[in-house]
Amino acid sequence: MNVVSVIKLYISKMIEESGPGMKVLLMDKETTSIVSMVFAQSEILQKEVYLFERMDMNSREAMKHLKCITFVRPTKENVELLTQELKNPRYGQYFIYFSNVISKADIKTLAESDEQEVVREVQEFYADYIAVSPHLFSVNCVGCYQGLGWNPVHLQRSTQAVISVLLSLKKNPVIRYQGSSELARRLAENVRQSITKEVSLFDFRRTDVPPLLLILDRRGDAVTPLLNQWTYQAMVHELLGINNNRVNLADVPGISKDLQEVVMSAEHDEFYANNMYLNFGEIGSNIKELMEDFQKKTKSQQKVESIADMKAFVENYPQFKKMSGTVAKHVTMVGELSRLVASHNLLEVSETEQELSCQSDHSENLKRIRRLIGNEKVRDIDATRLVMLYALHYERHSNNDITGLVDALKKRGVSEKLTKMVYSALEFGGSKSRSYDLFDAENVRSITRKVIKGLKGVENIYTQHTPLLRETMEDLLRGKLKEAPYPYLGTVQMRERPQDVIVFMVGGTTYEESNVIQELNRTTPGVHIVLGGTTVHNFKSFLEEMKSATVGMIMKPGGSKRVIR
């Protein structure tokens, strides 16, 4: 169950099937991202693919000596474009691969337009999602809520993505969903409908324990995407933003020109692969090691006196060059992160965030938030996220002071847009949308957990919070996930403990959760979990998500009515 290698296999197979000769890869916008996430250009060039084209760019000229591998999503526009292409073929042969199930009618239109018989192959290859890590996939759409319901376009896209994940991994799953969420239920039903429609496709060899598809809703845990992160990958995403493994550093002061945009891909960067899940402190020492190693190499590079030295130099040169690139990239990255941490007082902010999410000392928390709101160095969005966390935590507290804090934000000069988002957050992730209480310690298990935690002491005050997903998954793997809040779809039930689990988070997942899944995969033998989401959130994208979810809704902060325009 490795989504990255599956997509790699699909693409290699596509290229192999067209045989030897020069090839061009014709893609649409989304498949370009899908391919780019798993293959570097130099790797594809080695497979005799010498040209990359986008379907929607019209500056193409005829090159009959090329074979065209077309890899597109089965959308209306793509079929339309492809029809035109086939009527007027620019390349010698066409090998067409759709990333998902395509209708017979579309095939017919294509067949009718292929007057010159240039098409050699038409296939469905189910690589219809962005593989971020071996255990993490994304659909890359923000704003899938529309007034707390599904945006129909995104619902369809998400269904397709989940279906293609299932097909590519060859799983015909039992489906469970978060009962409190209408969205999860609808997605689950759509997925099941698609499966029954394409029953012949899902005819895989049965395993003893059937795989499980669990569909969750972001609204069940709105706290996780609000927190500042301290593991490398999550931190980079939170503070700088990762977009398809690319990080834009153009805003960093004093950046050199070739580092304005860098790639953070575990596939092509060993240091990153080893360190992406470590926390910031550990990264610092590892960077230092990398640096020292590099220095040693540079010194040995400097003395080129004998022929043996020369030989050694030339042999190590490509490696050396690669290493110098890696070192420059990570040193810049970590430097920028630590600059941001220092200048925005993130350590203190994060400590308060963690306390807000894990402990319940109302007056103390309130005092700290007020102090931080008064602090000049703290960014507006950090102040806002503190108030959001406070609002989510103390929504039901008898003498909470949400309005007071919002007023304090306004006094600070935080824009109207952001202060309104506090109420949106409450509407989005407030207690009525949660099936499970994130903060309260009323049930027995969480009390014992707290006691144990108290005995052990807190290891790291910045990483006290564990996402709800961890608990859900642990329950699930033990076979103890209750049926009432997470019902099965249909009559099928699972008695055994699941082994292959695909989790899909409607409304987007986070790198913190990806971290948890990676940890679970590593520590529990025989269990494979793949996590997916409509997108991978940081605070900024999560704000967008909440905004689109609560557009035009009536908010009720502490009894007084407000309308968000």
- Local structure of residue 49 (DSSP, 8 states): E
Least distance in angstroms from the C-beta of 516 to other proteins? 27
Give yes or no for residue 433 binding other proteins (CB under 8 A).
no
User: Which residue from 78, 138, 160, 168 is in contact with other proteins, where contact means CB under 8 A?
Assistant: 168
Q: Is residue 318 classed exposed, middle or buried when 0-12, 13-18 and 19+ CB atoms within 10 A define those classes?
A: exposed
C-alpha distances in angstroms, 290 versus 45, 168, 264, 357?
Answer: 30, 38, 17, 35
Give yes or no for residue 61 binding other proteins (CB under 8 A).
yes
Least distance in angstroms from the C-beta of 45 to other proteins? 4
Can you say how many angstroms the Cα of residue 149 is from the centroid of all Cα atoms in its chain? 21
Nearer to other proteins, 211 or 429 (CB): 211
Tokens matching residue 221: 């845990």
496: three-class secondary structure by DSSP: coil
Give yes or no for residue 346 binding other proteins (CB under 8 A).
no
Nearer to other proteins, 5 or 343 (CB): 5
Q: Are 405 and 387 a contacting pair, CB within 8 Å? A: yes
Nearer to other proteins, 268 or 540 (CB): 268
Give yes or no for residue 6 binding other proteins (CB under 8 A).
yes
Nearer to other proteins, 15 or 388 (CB): 15
User: Which residue from 197, 288, 321, 377 is in contact with other proteins, where contact means CB under 8 A?
Assistant: 321
Q: Is residue 417 classed exposed, middle or buried when 0-12, 13-18 and 19+ CB atoms within 10 A define those classes?
A: exposed
Least distance in angstroms from the C-beta of 515 to other proteins? 23
Residues 76-105 that bind other proteins (CB under 8 A): 101-102, 104
Nearer to other proteins, 22 or 564 (CB): 22
Q: How many CA atoms lie within 13 A of 278 on its CB side?
A: 14
- The residues, any chain, with a CB within 8 Å of residue 45's CB and separated by 6 or more, are none
C-alpha 76/C-alpha 63 separation (Å) is 26
Least distance in angstroms from the C-beta of 108 to other proteins? 5
User: Which residue from 2, 83, 122, 209 is in contact with other proteins, where contact means CB under 8 A?
Assistant: 122
C-alpha 41/C-alpha 33 separation (Å) is 12
Q: Are 436 and 485 a contacting pair, CB within 8 Å? A: yes
Least distance in angstroms from the C-beta of 47 to other proteins? 9
Q: Which amino acid is at 90?
A: R
The Cα diameter of the chain in Å comes to 83
Give yes or no for residue 155 binding other proteins (CB under 8 A).
no
Nearer to other proteins, 258 or 289 (CB): 258
Residues 241-270 that bind other proteins (CB under 8 A): 244, 246, 258, 261-263, 265, 268-269
- Local structure of residue 487 (DSSP, 8 states): P
Q: Are 162 and 3 a contacting pair, CB within 8 Å? A: no
Give yes or no for residue 16 binding other proteins (CB under 8 A).
no
Give yes or no for residue 28 binding other proteins (CB under 8 A).
no
Pairing of strands 63-72, 91-98: parallel
Give yes or no for residue 140 binding other proteins (CB under 8 A).
no
Give yes or no for residue 112 binding other proteins (CB under 8 A).
yes
Nearer to other proteins, 126 or 177 (CB): 126
User: Which residue from 3, 18, 26, 36 is in contact with other proteins, where contact means CB under 8 A?
Assistant: 36
Residues 278-307 that bind other proteins (CB under 8 A): 307
- Site map (CB under 8 A) of other proteins, residues 38-57, x = contact: -xxxx-xxx-x-xxxxx--x
Number of shown-chain residues binding other proteins (CB under 8 A): 76
The vertex-215 CA angle with 211 and 219, nearest 5°, equals: 155
Give yes or no for residue 554 binding other proteins (CB under 8 A).
no
Tokens matching residue 365: 């928390």
Neighbours of 59 (CB within 10 A): 6
Give yes or no for residue 525 binding other proteins (CB under 8 A).
no
